[in-house]
Amino acid sequence: SSRVVEIQSQMSERAVELLGLPEDRPCLLLDVGCGSGLSGDYISDEGHYWIGMDISPAMLDVAVEREVEGDLLLADVGHGIPFRPGMFDGCISISAVQWLCNADKKSHSPPKRLYRFFSTLYTALARGSRAVLQLYPENSEQLELITAQAMRAGFTGGMVVDYPNSAKAKKFFLCLFVGISGTLPKGLGTECADGEEIHQAKFTNERTRFRNAKGKSVKKSRDWILEKKERRRRQGKEVRADTKYTGRKRRPRF
């Protein structure tokens, strides 16, 4: 619908703005999950070049029919970004990266797929460039998982949240720097009426403290023990009931 197209173009515009591209020369951008090429249209209008990757042949067919200016590649970004090192001056992605959190096949491990995506993206980007990935996280765990894998792959940066106080307009942009740390841009709508800045929400749940970079609970922690007991219960094994003492350290002697 035209509403979707409008929101998509606004987000593409904002993502390109957050890239902070040089104004004096055309750049080559990667569009991850480019779909029918709507963000690509905006990139072309701005005088830049782009290559789009998408996992959906149907969407890419629409892009071809629309005669978009970018080059198109049918690929699953969870398998990595297959371009030579330092090729791109920036990367944008609109509403796509959260799909890497889903394990669609038995063999899919979301942390591994995210790490593969981010580590190969890091390589394909020129030093000093940025990736801006707009995403719709399902919950704070997804945000933590995605951000953790990006940092593990060598990126610096973090989440820019536009209109954090509006249920409808709130948008998440993961803004990543390659090689040099920039200052994280400010989210739109983060100032109150009297000019006071709202400090952006931190998306940490208590639960995530006990998780390591691979998204698993730290071994022998209470969470780890509870998860293990739950798995054994599901396998029909006899397991002691959970109590407040579960996972507590015993003193050396009783």
- Boundary-marking domain end, from 127, 149, 178: 178
Question: Do 169 and 222 reside in the same domain of the chain?
Answer: no
Question: Do 125 and 228 reside in the same domain of the chain?
Answer: no
For the chain, the 3-state helix, strand and coil shares in percent, each to the nearest 5, are 35, 20, 45
**Mean pLDDT, the chain, whole residue set:** 86
* Helices 110-124 and 140-152: angle between axes, nearest 10 degrees: 50
- Boundary-marking domain end, from 147, 178, 209: 178
Residue carrying the six token digits 């790490």: 115
pLDDT score of 5 more than 80: yes
Question: Do 6 and 67 reside in the same domain of the chain?
Answer: yes
Residue 148 resides in a domain: yes
Residues 145, 159: Cα–Cα separation, whole Å: 13
Residue 183 resides in a domain: no
pLDDT band at 244; cut points 50, 70, 90 = confident
Question: Do 146 and 49 reside in the same domain of the chain?
Answer: yes
Q: What is the CATH number of the domain that holds 62?
A: 3.40.50.150
- Boundary-marking domain end, from 178, 204, 237: 178
- For the stretch 227-243, pLDDT in tens is 878 877 877 888 888 88
Instruction: Give the range of the structural domain holding residue 221, as residue numbers without chain letter.
Output: 217-253
Is the distance from CB of 92 to CB of 132 less than 8 angstroms?
A: yes
Question: Do 138 and 221 reside in the same domain of the chain?
Answer: no
What is the pLDDT averaged over residues 32-56? 95
Question: Do 141 and 226 reside in the same domain of the chain?
Answer: no
Question: Do 232 and 168 reside in the same domain of the chain?
Answer: no
Residue 81 resides in a domain: yes
pLDDT band at 6; cut points 50, 70, 90 = confident
Question: Do 113 and 26 reside in the same domain of the chain?
Answer: yes
Residue 85 resides in a domain: yes
pLDDT score of 7 more than 70: yes
Question: Do 74 and 147 reside in the same domain of the chain?
Answer: yes
pLDDT band at 205; cut points 50, 70, 90 = very low
pLDDT band at 215; cut points 50, 70, 90 = low
Residue 229 resides in a domain: yes
Give 171 or 200, the one with higher predicted confidence.
171
Q: What is the pLDDT at residue 183?
A: 81
Reported pTM: 0.74
Residue 198 resides in a domain: no
Question: Do 158 and 224 reside in the same domain of the chain?
Answer: no
Q: Which long-range contacts (C-beta less than 8 Å, at least 24 apart) are formed by 65-71?
A: 66/36, 66/37, 68/36, 68/37, 68/40, 68/41, 68/44, 69/40, 69/44, 70/31, 70/34, 70/37, 70/40, 70/43, 70/44
Question: Do 122 and 28 reside in the same domain of the chain?
Answer: yes
Residue 112 resides in a domain: yes
What is the pLDDT averaged over residues 178-198? 71
Q: What is the pLDDT at residue 102?
A: 83
pLDDT score of 178 more than 90: yes
Question: Do 226 and 160 reside in the same domain of the chain?
Answer: no
Number of domains in the chain: 2
What is the pLDDT averaged over residues 17-28? 93
